[in-house]
Structure 1
Amino acid sequence: MPVKTAAAGPVAVLVVTWNSAAVLPEFIASLPDGMDGLDWRLIVADNDSADDTVALLRDLAPQTTIVQTGRNAGYAAGINAALDATASWDTGIRAALVCNPDVRMRPGCAKSLLDALGAELPGGDRVGISVPLLYEEDGATVVRSLRREPSVVRAFGEALIGNRRAGRFPALGELVTDPRAYEASTRADWAAGALMMLSGEVLDACGPWDEFYFLYSEETEYCLRAGDRGFATRLEPAATAVHLGGDSRVSPFLWTLLVLNRVRLHRRRHGVPAAVAFWAAVLLRETSRAAIGKAPSRAAVGALLSPAKLRERPGPAPAAPRSATS
């Protein structure tokens, strides 16, 4: 069912949960301050949690719209299920705030993000996706959340000199590392998806999230697709939040899924020849990391060398939920 958007509607706060009981109480407690000044409604899509996630929601936030998908459907599918639940609202929705349950918005965060939408940029593009300045769990360390579009040259740059060093040079790195980029309203090709505000225009133009990506690269694909349609992703530093982070860098399964989805996304956007070169660059990086004893990279190398793994559709993770990663 198509999502109805309306300038006078509420902001739909979309959350996907999977065994998220440990992080939900603080998330829910942070919402009133984080959403201060806005008309909003909370919609949670639960991907068949085996813990007390749903019971906690009903107890702590009884007005929440809970969509139970009945399976571990993936992050994009969860977002789509939550969006679909808004289609029956007479008011429509003004915008959608996609957030992980391990994010803690600081006061006024969401309003700053909403106010940033629609700004016209040089070249005629408009801000369609706004993201906050994220801090790590210590509340002081800035998360480098902005990214440039993946490319073959950038993949090789990161493989040869590391993603943080390569990130100093726009042509060579995907990760935006310049501290000045996080001190101003900065446009990016895409941003980490822990917390992002989507305008009604973007929702109308882009439609649902791509459920091919069970986990990882779904926010990359969505931001790039929005960019293709003239909608920019931009950091709004007046909006701040804490992200508790995750374990994708230490879990072989999750790291492998992240790496494979990067290759799959490049193939789907650029075709097979470019994807082969991108795959070679990613393989080089993971091989060098595996050589110094990094178990997640060893697992990723094995998967990258398996044609069957590269072809298969991404599937459910056996362990950590998306709320613990990004």
Structure 2
Amino acid sequence: MSYDVGVVIVSYNSAHVIEGLLATIPQALDGLSAVTAVVDNGSTDNSLEILRARDDCLVVENSNTGYAAGVNRGVEALPGVETILVLNPDVRLGPGSVRSMFATLQATRAAVVAPRVLQPDGQLFRSLRREPVLLRTAGLGWTKRPCFDEYISDPATYEHRQVVDWALGAALLVRRDVHTALGGWDESYFLYSEETDFSLRAKDRGWSTVYEPTAVVTHIGGASGRTVRTHVMQVLNRVRLYARRHPPYAGVAYLCLSVLSETSWVLRGQGESIASVKALLSPRSRPAELGCSDTIVPR
């Protein structure tokens, strides 16, 4: 049987949220046919017990080799499906949201379609982003000027369909042929920046990421827990992403600006940034999962 959409959910200790997401999929499809694969990345809670008891999803058991690896395993488990919906387990899909994203994907030159993302209280989440550049890591995002701010902040901007550099990876509809052409999601990031990398590599090939405001999802956030270690990964992966796409001297500059930015957060009382400053300056202190402990500029 052929399906309009293959849904890939990457789960890690998500027992408390995964069923809530699965319950919203049928109304979000609005008549589209779909098959769902939940990739469990080595959960230690009762996620697998919950998933195995259901008959509406294929369970793919995977060791914890990272989010991008989970996405790739999920796509591999759904051969023949040409449109892939990648979801975090802590998302709730609004009625008709997948149908709306699917229509946009068919009507545009998009590799990726991103929905409007709301916070649990119904407020808009700033899910749209600009490409990382040196000025945007200088800690001047509070100015709200595009040259300094990676976030697209103006609420009015979120009212219309538009091409963006990249968008939050909590819910993305992706063309499978683009996924294949790019060799899938880059597993070396382990966690964070993989969606940025995917959209920017697609852009390099002439494809776009399109924001569709009529597709609405709610992102609960933090379902798998945020720790000092994951914060360090996020900071390091931003440097890695930039360094891979620019000359060596630019990578050094981005690293230095990242140190200054994280130091400013330390001075403002954000304790987890102490660890990120250390990781930026001391390769041996970096998480082994990232495999970037051999050079001062992480790659």
TM-score normalized by structure 2? Answer: 0.92
SS in 2 for 1:212: helix
Are 1:129 and 2:118 an aligned pair?
no
> For residues 19 and 244 of structure 1, do their structure 2 counterparts lie closer, same or farther at Cα, with a shift above 3 Å needed?
same
- Partner amino acid for 2:19? P
- Aligned residue runs from structure 1 range 27-46, under 5 A: 27-46=21-40
SS in 2 for 1:216: coil
> For residues 24 and 227 of structure 1, do their structure 2 counterparts lie closer, same or farther at Cα, with a shift above 3 Å needed?
same
- Partner amino acid for 1:270? H
- Aligned residue runs from structure 1 range 111-130, under 5 A: 111-120=99-108, 126-130=109-113
CA deviations 1:126-167 (Å, max 9, x no partner) are: 2121011010011x21000011110112212xx1x3x2x24x
- Given candidates 271, 274, 281, the residue that maps to 1:305 is 281
RMSD of aligned C-alpha atoms? 2.0
- Partner amino acid for 1:261? N
- Partner amino acid for 1:194? A
SS in 2 for 1:255: helix
Percent identity of equivalent pairs: 41
SS in 2 for 1:117: helix
Aligned 8 A contact 2:111 2:202 in 1: yes
SS in 1 for 2:188: coil
Q: CA deviation at 1:253?
A: 1.6
- Aligned residue runs from structure 1 range 139-288, under 5 A: 140-156=122-138, 159=139, 161=140, 163=141, 165-166=142-143, 168-246=144-222, 251-288=227-264
Structure 1 alignment gaps of length 5 or more: 1-5, 121-125, 316-326
Which residue in the other structure is 2:297 paired with?
none
- Partner amino acid for 1:65? L
Q: Distance in 2 between matches of 1:20 and 1:114?
A: 26
- Given candidates 44, 54, 61, the residue that maps to 1:68 is 61
SS in 2 for 1:29: helix
Aligned 8 A contact 1:248 1:254 in 2: no
Structure 2 alignment gaps of length 5 or more: 292-299
TM-score normalized by structure 1? Answer: 0.84
Q: Distance in 2 between matches of 1:77 and 1:136?
A: 27
Q: Distance in 1 between matches of 2:226 and 2:56?
A: 37
- Given candidates 69, 79, 87, the residue that maps to 1:99 is 87
Are 1:80 and 2:72 an aligned pair?
yes
Which residue in the other structure is 1:17 paired with?
11
Query: How many correspondences in the alignment?
Result: 291
Aligned 8 A contact 1:248 1:255 in 2: no
> For structure 1, which segment, 300-309 or 220-229, has the greater mean C-alpha deviation from structure 2 after superposition?
300-309
